[in-house]
Structures are given as structure tokens and as C-alpha cells.
Amino acid sequence: MMIMLWIKSQDTFLSNEVKKFIKTVTPDLTLIPSGADYSWIDPDTGIAWEKLEDVFDNIKEESGSKAWFFEAIKQVPPLFRECYHMLQNVYPASYDTLLKPFLEWTHQEKDIQLTIKQISKESSSGDHLVALLTITALVERALGNVVLLKCKQVPFLLRDLLATPELEELIGKEKVQLLIVMLGSVLGLNLRNIAWHGFLSPHETSQAFVATILFILADCGRMLKKTKIKNIPCRPHATFDEASCLSSVFDNMIIPRNAVLEEVIMNSSFVPTVMYPAWKKALELLEEEQWGLCMTLLLPLMECSMRGMFAHVNKVSERMLTAENSTLYTTMDEILNEYVESSTTSQTVHEKDGKYEFSSCSACVHNLGNREHSEVTKCTLSTDGIVHADQEKKRDLDTLEKKNRVQYTIGTKLNEALHDLLNFIQGPRIRDRVSHGEAKLQEIPAFITCHILYLNLLVLSSWGPNMDEDPNGTTNKMKCMNLKGLREEYVLNGELEGKILETTSDTNCLGHCPPPSDEACSQDKKFANDSSNLSEHGKEVVGKLRRNINDYKCVFHPSALLHRRLIHAGSCISNWIHWDRVDSLELDYPEWESWDKIQLPGAISYPPLDISHNVCSLHNMEDFLVLVKDIQYKVLYRPKQEIELISILQRITVCILATLEKNHENITLKYSQYITKRLRSRQRETYRRQLIAVPVIVSSCYLTCQVIYLIFLAINKSGDLSQSSFTSLMRVLKPVLKVTENLVTQTSLSVNRWDEASSLSINNIDHIRKEFSHRQG
């Protein structure tokens, strides 16, 4: 049975094979080469690529096979060691002449120099990890820019980028081969993935890895200069403007003192001791206001802790380990998924040398390369539109077995906040953008790093705020065992060193612990969530964070985006009557004054969704806006049908907003031109037709907003529609979308087809009246 202390005491999160690779390739840096010993580095500080080519060519195994990669890995430690020591010799005295000119093509000289300082002789293991994270993102961005010289598009994944023949042509086969061995294949070291996904601990990170990548980059620069390739494209970096709204989530928080942060970290059972040096470094960077570098560490640290949580609450201890080409590994995508990918696993926990380990036997092996992420869809209704009792029961039983219990451990609001930050397409997708080098670390805003820090603290202090939501209500009993008397003492030394001083237990063997009792479960829960062990200041900080997150409202899910746009559209419509215009008597257009005579249906409904709505008058737009603002909807783990429906409603709403904004812009411009007598007679007639058309266009847009509101009311029931009912609803909405798209075009400044726009609007009103007619009973 899994116990929480296993997470804290684990000294690695690398599988045996990956750990063997890392150990094999990590050079002994105490062996300092003299001048004559540098056989892998040329006099001009370039790598001896001919030697590497010979080494790779002489490997007898099949090229690209698992055995080939292992043989390649065994050959490169001397190269890594020489790169590290040569860098120490060169920097800073000769850096400006020997290396800097050949690194300028990356357009990231500041980050490179910071990285070099982080692997100096005086640096810590936490520095080494942040340096590796930084350089892997940097090299991906730089090589992507180079590929743009010959390709129109850069592959999203580093492994695909390194596989492009154009890159090999530009920088050379041997450089690409070495980068694939180090970064770009699950058969190799895979340093980029194991570091960014929080598997690699600081003590497993060698400065030599970073130094070697820097020398590869410098040699790429030499080759580009040699082939006279200049003006390497520099793609614009992500600005995270869309994330500015997140700054208000914790706007009443002041960054706690490091002592308080250390306290929360030390009290969390989801922080492995081997990760303490990384946490120590993250807090140092936070104190120094190095927001980008701090965030670089916080993201994999969060993933590591959440993977521990995932493995613990779902009883899948083997999922803590990193990926090989034949084994599934657990990243944030799955940690935040609704379901756990099924595997049949037996587990035994045992004590060895004061550590708690698992023996697991899994009957389900997954190939990472063939793994696809797809959206969970609900059970399809039967042909009569009813889910029969036996079907419902079977679905519920399946759900109990597969549900990912992380969602009950962290709670709905924190789950939404994490999806907003990391996953939703329209959101900032911080993890993806930063890890792939799309962000400029020097320009990361402080509020983003603080937001990630606070979410991290909430994760670390989570222990089932929503346990009552757990479908079987027994999560805690399944996870805990009697640990009474078991304690771990740590020495912090003010620096999060995290050394275990003493482990004592009333029992000699955990395998002989009695079955968990209610009291035992309570003890384990107390040990794991330990606001009770925090100081008053620590409790105050965690409590304040939880109050903030309890008020969280999703921002970037398609439903949330639709909600905001619908409110915006309603606000635009409410102001239309006040748009600047010429007096109606002056140009003879009475339609504006009698706009309220346009016939709109008094009520609309859609029986398959069992919804109806009394259409608010345009006179009472404020009432409609209140109704819209009060809509309640769910955003996590929604069925495919619902997402498709949200998508078409979003497209309609975007067109409505564009139509209203174009009309306002157009009519304001024409009014200005009219009163300054800059309109010719034909333009005045066009302006008059516009004034006649605007009321019916606005009325059509308004009625369409009412329909969107009607469907939005029942959006979370749309996934239960039978396929025929859902297809019918989409068929009804597509003409509405077509009208709104045409209105955007026909009301633009360059087109001005006002008669056609009026006709379209009237047809749209008639279509809505026909398809959404109100039926009682």
C-alpha cells in the first residue's frame, strides 16, 4: 500500500534504464585535463567533429537503435568533461574573442551569459538545473530560427525539429546527431524532457551537459559564418498579454518571506527531499526578482510534486518514473486529465535502508511515440434519446475505476486555475511556451511568476478540499496506513538543504503495519496536509491563498471566453441608440426613431434542451446583461459535443461584435464627414441607407444574442443530446453563423451594402422565429 513518506524519501525519479544512461554519461569533473589532454576540443575552442564522426560511424549496432544510442552515450563523457573545463578556462577572460562572436546568431546573448555563470565552479546543484532548463529552451528556439532559412514553418517539438533534413544541411550532420543523443530522442539521454517535466533532480544534473550544448551552439555559429549565412530570422517572443487578467487573482497577496515559503515547502508531503536544492534556488531567484529564471524552476517543480500526488491518490506508484521508448510516463497533461489511463498493477511497499520503495508489476505497457491525447466524450445516448438504467449503472462503475482523484485532492477551483495557466488553447500556456523557448526570460512579468508560485503553494498544501466530491467517498481510507510514531526530522539550515537526520518508527517493518483504521487515516491526513504544523504566519498565508482561489472564475476555457464576449456584445448593443448621427428629419430616415416597431418574437425556446426564454426588450438591455452575467456553467472535462457547440456560438458572437464595431466606426466616420461637408451627394445617399439599415441590423444582432444566451443556459446538457438532435441543432445554427459572417463583410467601410445587410438581418430574424418558436408544455 502506498504511503506518503515514499514521495519524500525517493532519491530519484528516473527509471533504472534512464538513470543508468545519466550515470554513464556524467563525467568526473575532478579530472582536470591539461593542454595536451584536450583531444575533443580544437585549439580554436571548437569541438573535434571529425573525431565524433569516427566514433559514431564505428558503432557496430544498427544506427538509431536503442543499442546504438547506448553505445554512443558511453563514448561522450570525455567530450562533456573537456567542454566544461574549457569553458571554465575561457570564461570570462577570453569569452569575448573565442565564443561570443559565434553565439550572437542565437539573439539570446544575455541568457547565454547567465547560463555560463550558473555552471561556474562556485555554483550549486540548483544553479545547474536552472541552467539546463534555460539552455534547452534556448537551443530549441535558436535552431528553429535557423530552420526558417529554408522552411516556412518550424516543427513544434524539438525531436521533430532535429529530424528536419534542412537543419542537418545548415549546421552539419554530426551536430544534429549529438543533439539528438543529448536532447531529441527517448532512446537517448532525453535531457530536455526529463528536466522540463520535473524528473531530473539537481544532483543528477551535470554542468558538463550545459557546457557541451553551449559549445555545440558556438560551432553552429562558426559554420553559419563559414557558409556566409547572415541575418538569421528572429521570431517574436511571446508577450503573455492575454494573461494580464490573472494579475488580479492574488492581487491582495504580498510575496511571503522566504522563511514562510520554506515552511510550507518543508511541511508538504508532495515535495521530494531531492528537490529541496531546486526549491532553494527558486526562492533565491524570487528574492532577487529574477522572475523568468524563477518561473523556469517553478514549472518542473510543480509537475514533480503533482506527479507524486497523482501516483499517490490513484495508487499507481510506477507512474512516478520517467519515460523510455516503451513505457508510459506521466506529465502534467495526464496529471490534470479526468481519467487515469488504465493499467493492471500490483504493488508491494517495503522498507530498504530507511527508504520506502515499491515493487510493481504492470500488465499495461504504452508506447510514448504512439500515445495521443484526445478529449473525453460522454456515453452516446441510445436511439430513443434515453440512457437506460443498466447503461447508466455500467457507466458509473467504469467511472469509479478510472476517475483521476487528483481533481478531488486539489479541488475544482485550483484545477480550473491550473488548466487556465497551462492547458487551454486561448490561455497563456506558460509551460509549453517557456519550455519551447517562445518566451524571453528577461521579460517575464513579475505577476506571472507570483501566480505560478501561489498555485504551487496551493498544490503543496492540498489534501482533498473537495473530498466530498469523490465518487466513491473512500479515497482517504484507500491511501493511508498507520504511521503512528513515524517521523522524519530535517535540518533546513535556513537554506532548504533538506538532509534527513533521523528516521524513527514504532515498527521495524512497514510491511507488518496493521490495516488502516479511521484513526490511522486521520493521522496520515494530518501528516500530509499540514497546516496544523505551520506557524500562525504560515497558516495565514495558506488560508489567504485558499480564500483567493475559492473565488476563482475560469478565464480561458471556450465557455468562459464565450461568456465574456456575449457580455461585451450586449454592452455594445446597449449603446447603439447613442451613436453620433445626423438628425432623422435632415436626411429623412424615420426608421431610426421607430426602431421598436421591428417585430421580434416575445419568447424563444429549444425543446430538445428543455429551455425557454422570454426575449428582453431592447429598452431593457440592462436586464438582459444581468441575466447573461448570472449564467452558470462548468468548464472542466466537457464532452466533445459541448465543445463543438461552444465553438459555433463563439464564432457567431465574434461576428456580432465585429459587425457592431464596424457599424459604430463607419457611422461615426460618416457623421464627421457629413457635418464637415466632405460627403458628395452619392456618399450622402449611402450614409442615409446606412442610417435606415442600422436599426434592423442591431435588432438582428440582439435577437441572435438572445438565442446564444438561450443555448448557453443549457450548455452543460448539450453533451447528453442524441446525435440526431445535436446534428439538428448545429444545422439550425449554421445559417445564423452565415448571416453574421456576411454582415461583417457587407457593413465594412469598403463595401457599404446596406440594403443587402438589411435583407440579411430580416431573414435572420425570420429564421430564428421559425426555429426557436416558443411552445408551451
Copy the grid coordinates of residue 3.
504511503
Question: What is the rounded distance in angstroms from the CA atom of residue 293 to the CA atom of residue 114?
Answer: 10
Question: pLDDT-derived band of residue 545, with 50, 70 and 90 as boundaries?
Answer: very high
Q: Which residue has the cell 538543504?
A: 497
Q: How far apart are CA 61 and CA 72, in angstroms?
A: 10
CA distance 557 to 560: 5
Rounded Cα–Cα distance for residues 398 and 491 (Å)? 45
Q: 654, 737 in Cβ contact below 8 A? A: no
The whole-number pLDDT of residue 343 equals 52
Q: The C-alpha cell of 206 is what?
A: 551535470
pTM: 0.85
Separation of alpha carbons 140 and 444, rounded Å: 18
How many Cα atoms are found within 13 Å in the side-chain-facing hemisphere of 537? 10
As a whole number of angstroms, the distance between CA 263 and CA 259 comes to 6
* Nearest by Cα to 52 from 208, 174, 188: 174
Tens-place pLDDT, residues 607-630: 999 999 999 888 888 899 999 999
Mean pLDDT, rounded, for 108-129:
95
- 498 Cβ partners below 8 Å, 6+ apart? 266, 273, 274, 276, 277, 490, 492
Residue 376 has pLDDT above 60, yes or no: no
Q: Which of 119, 50, 69, 53 is nearest to 91 (CA)?
A: 119
Helix (H) and strand (E) counts in the chain: 32, 6
Closest listed residue to residue 132, CA positions, set 186, 70, 196, 216: 196
pLDDT of residue 528 exceeding 70, the answer is no
Q: Tell me what pLDDT residue 768 has.
A: 96
**What integer is the mean pLDDT of 175-192?**
95
Q: How far is CA 487 from the centre of its chain?
A: 36
Cell numbers that stand for 326 in this block: 516503451
498-501-502 Cα angle (round to 5): 130
- Please list, residue by residue across 594-628, b when 16 or more beta carbons sit within 10 angstroms of its beta carbon and e when fewer do: ebeebebbeebbbebbebbbebbebeebeebbebb
Whole-number Å distance between alpha carbons of 418 and 411 = 11
Interacting residues of 396 by C-beta distance below 8 A, sequence separation 6+: 471
Q: What is d(CA 335, CA 622) in angstroms, rounded to the nearest whole number?
A: 42
Task: Tell me the mean pLDDT in the region 72-90.
Answer: 95
Prior bond of 428 cis (ω within 30°): no
pLDDT for the residue 195:
97
CB 675 within 8 A of CB 594: no
Question: For 26-108, where are the alpha helices, taking DSSP H only?
Answer: 49-57, 66-75, 77-90, 95-98
pLDDT(551) > 70: yes
Residue entry with cell 449611402: 686
Take residue 330 and report the three cell numbers written for it. Answer: 506521466
**317: confidence class by pLDDT, cuts 50, 70, 90:** confident
Burial class (CB in 10 A: 0-12, 13-18, 19+), 466: middle
Cell numbers placing 143: 535552431
Q: Give me the mean pLDDT over the 138-162 stretch.
A: 95
pLDDT reported for residue 515: 32
Amino acid type, 701: C
Positions of E strands within 257-335: none
pLDDT of residue 749: 84
Q: What is the amino acid identity at position 263?
A: E
What would the grid cell of residue 249 be? Answer: 487573482
- The CA distance from 271 to 110, in Å, is 32
Under DSSP, the state recorded for 591 is G
The answer to which of 164-178, 343-357, 456-470, 725-739 has the lowest mean pLDDT is: 343-357
pLDDT for 398 beyond 50: no
Residue at grid coordinates 473512500: 474
C-alpha–C-alpha distance, residues 438 and 541, integer Å: 33
Q: Which residue has the higher pLDDT, 665 or 531?
A: 665
d(CA 428, CA 455): 15
The tens digit of pLDDT for each residue in 464-514 reads 544 334 444 433 333 332 222 233 333 333 445 544 333 323 323 222 233
Name the more confident of 386 and 306: 306
pLDDT value at position 401? 52
Give the Cα separation of 743 and 754 in Å (integer).
Answer: 9
**Longest alpha-carbon distance in the chain:** 99
CB atoms within 10 A of CB 325: 15
Task: State which H helix or E strand residue 179 sits in.
Answer: helix 173-179
Contact between residue 285 and residue 306 where contact means Cβ atoms under 8 Å apart = no
Of the candidates 292, 546, 248, 542, the one whose C-alpha atom is nearest the C-alpha of residue 440 is 292
**Of the ranges 13-17, 152-156, 504-508, which one carries the lowest mean pLDDT score?**
504-508
Distance in angstroms between the alpha carbons of the first and the last residue of the chain: 56
Are the CB atoms for 116 and 138 separated by under 8 Å? Answer: no
**Are the C-beta atoms of 269 and 7 separated by less than 8 Å?**
yes
Q: How far apart are CA 233 and CA 215, in angstroms?
A: 21
Query: DSSP assignment, residue 319?
Result: G
SS3 489: strand
* Sequence-ordered strand ranges (E) for 270-413: 345-352, 355-362
Scored b (16 or more CB within 10 A) or e, 757-777 reads bbebbbebbebbeebbeeeee
Q: How far apart are CA 255 and CA 272, in angstroms?
A: 23
Task: List 604's β-bridge partners, or say none.
Answer: 613, 773
Type of residue found at 523: Q
Q: How many CA atoms lie within 13 A of 202 on its CB side?
A: 25
**What is the rounded CA–CA span in Å between residue 712 and residue 589?**
36
Summarised one tens digit per residue, pLDDT across range 757-770 is: 999 999 999 999 99
Instruction: Report d(CA 284, CA 267) in Å as an integer.
Output: 19
Angle at 599 between CA 594 and CA 601, to 5 degrees: 145
| Per-residue confidence band for 387, with pLDDT thresholds at 50, 70 and 90 | very low
Q: Which residue has the higher pLDDT, 43 or 647?
A: 647
- The answer to whether residues 679 and 586 touch, using CB atoms and an 8 Å cutoff, is no
Beta-bridge partner residues of 339: 403
Amino acid identity of 447?
F
Question: How far does Cα 615 stand from its chain's mean position?
Answer: 39
Neighbours of 386 (CB within 10 A): 11
* Distances 608 to 730, 771, 775 between C-alpha atoms, Å: 13, 12, 12
Spell out the residues 6+ positions from residue 623 whose beta carbon is closer than 8 angstroms to its own.
616
What percent of the chain clears pLDDT 90, i.e. is strictly above it? 69
**Dihedral of alpha carbons 154, 155, 158, 163, sign:** negative
At residue 743, the pLDDT reads 96
Which pLDDT does position 593 carry in this prediction? 78
Phi-psi region of 593 (alpha: psi -120 to 50; beta: other; left: phi over 0): alpha
Beta-sheet pairing, 611-614 with 603-606? antiparallel
pLDDT greater at residue 215 or residue 341: 215
